Amino acid sequence: MDKGALKFRSFFIKYGTLLSVLILLIIFSLFVPNFSNPQNLINILRQMALLTIISEGFTMCLIVGELDLSFANVASLSSVVVATMLVNKANPLSAVLLTLLIGFVFGLANGLLITKVGISAMIVTLATGIIAQGLAFMYTKGVSVYGSMPKGFLTLGRGSVGPIPSLVIIMALVVVFFHVLTNRTKVGRYMEATGQNPTAAYLAGISVNLYKILGMIFSSLGAAFVGILLTSRLGSATPTGGAGFLMDGFATSLLGMTVLGLGRASPFGTFIGALLIGLLNNGMTLLGAPYYIQDITKGSIIILAVAITSSQSRKLGK
């Protein structure tokens, strides 16, 4: 193989997903009316905010080498719990904290069952996810929760600072938080070491189980936070409100794993993955494509992105 082709390939592996984001941006700006006006670009960021936040949490459990199938249902449960409390005039701050505590408990339970009892993450989180869904129905008796909620709480999901919606600001903070955590802190480095080679990490004196549990907690906590934001955005909640996040969250993180070209989960990658999905959703809606076409396109893009990086890296022998 000549050098040029090799260079081209490694370039593709490294920046393939970033490149597709760019290409998508250009195509949509050229062919979709109103796509590139600033208001729409802000809309895109607002629309993708919740998905990004929940995927960032999920990414943390991928980083420690585990899996979480429960996060979407934990988001649903959190959403109805916080809504019910607020409609019943609870103190907003304690309602929010209590809901986050629910997320924390789910993450802790997932983590303990995986590390201490030794059940595989897929089974544990499938089961706890079903439990969370059941609890959400039990709590609401199966109906949606509405009623008046404190204004301050609603600003969380609806307000804005100048032209920037608060959700976008929250999203940015979450992404930066996780990015700094994984790249700049001891905790983050230990989580990555745990995910990549648990034996080596253990022998280096790292409490592998602790960091696995932490990864699971981040995933559930992120989900609970998104449940709260969802309620705040909608002003109401349904017991299946978070269900849609499962597939999209997976899609986002999987796309994210192609961003650095290494098959390696990262908060930055996940953000790019979310951006790709956000752009697609928005652009295709503006084009008037029906929702099923959007789903088919999203699925195809995931396969394409993963196929390109994996086949290219195979050719490079990595």
Name the nearest CA neighbour of 293 among 281, 303, 304, 305: 281
Q: Is 186 an interacting residue with respect to another protein (CB under 8 A)? A: yes
What gap in Å lies between CA 146 and CA 236, rounded to an integer?
Answer: 5
> Is 66 one of the binding residues for another protein (CB under 8 A)?
no
Amino acid (one-letter) located at 229: L
Q: Which stretch binds another protein (CB under 8 A): 137-145, 194-202, 221-229, 276-284?
A: 194-202
Among 23, 93, 200, 303, binds another protein (CB under 8 A): 200
Q: Does 199 bind another protein (CB under 8 A)?
A: yes
Single out the residue of 90, 61, 25 nearest to residue 228, CA to CA: 90
With both helix axes pointing from N to C terminus, report the angle between 38-63 and 267-287 in degrees, rounded to the nearest 10.
Answer: 140
- Please list, in sequence order, all residues whose beta carbon lies within 8 angstroms of the beta carbon of residue 70, skipping any fewer than 6 positions away: 106, 110, 125, 126, 128, 129, 132, 220, 223
- Kindly report the number of other CB atoms within 10 A of residue 164's CB atom: 13
Per CB under 8 A, 196 contacts another protein: yes
Task: Give yes or no for residue 264 binding another protein (CB under 8 A).
Answer: yes
CA distances from 135 to 80, 129, 288, 318 (A): 10, 10, 38, 45
- Taking the complex as a whole, the smallest distance from the CB of residue 302 to another protein amounts, in Å, to 23
Binding to another protein by residue 40, rule CB under 8 A?
no
Q: How far is the CB of 192 from another protein (least distance, A)?
A: 7
Of residues 266 through 295, those in contact with another protein by CB under 8 A are none
Query: Helix crossing, 166-184 with 151-158: angle to 10°?
Result: 70
Q: What DSSP state is assigned to residue 35?
A: T
If the CB atoms of residues 190 and 245 are measured against another protein, the closer one turns out to be 190
Q: Among 14-22, 189-197, 250-258, 274-282, which window interacts with another protein (CB under 8 A)? A: 189-197
Q: Which is nearer to another protein, 10 or 47 (CB)?
A: 10
Binding segment for another protein (CB under 8 A), chosen from 96-104, 200-208, 213-221, 299-307, is 200-208
Binding-site member from 91, 185, 300, 311 for another protein (CB under 8 A) = 185
Q: At its nearest, how many Å lie between another protein and the CB of residue 207?
A: 8
Does 184 interact with another protein (rule: CB under 8 A)? yes
Could you identify the residue written with the tokens 């976008």?
168
User: Nearest CA to 273 among 242, 237, 309?
Assistant: 309
The reply to whether 2 sits near another protein by the rule CB under 8 A is no
Among residues 47, 144, 197, 285, the one that binds another protein under rule CB under 8 A: 197
Contact flag: residue 192 with another protein (CB under 8 A): yes
Residue 158 is inside which H or E element, if any?
A: helix 151-158
Determine, following the binding rule CB under 8 A, whether residue 116 of this chain makes contact with another protein.
no
Smallest gap from residue 181 Cβ to another protein (A): 9
Query: At 160, which helix (H) or strand (E)?
Result: strand 160-161
State in angstroms the smallest separation of the CB of 316 from another protein: 10
**311 lies in the site for another protein, by CB under 8 A:** no
Tell me if 267 sits within 8 A of 184, measured CB to CB.
no
- Contacts to another protein by CB under 8 A: 1, 184-187, 189, 192-193, 196-197, 199-206, 262, 264, 318
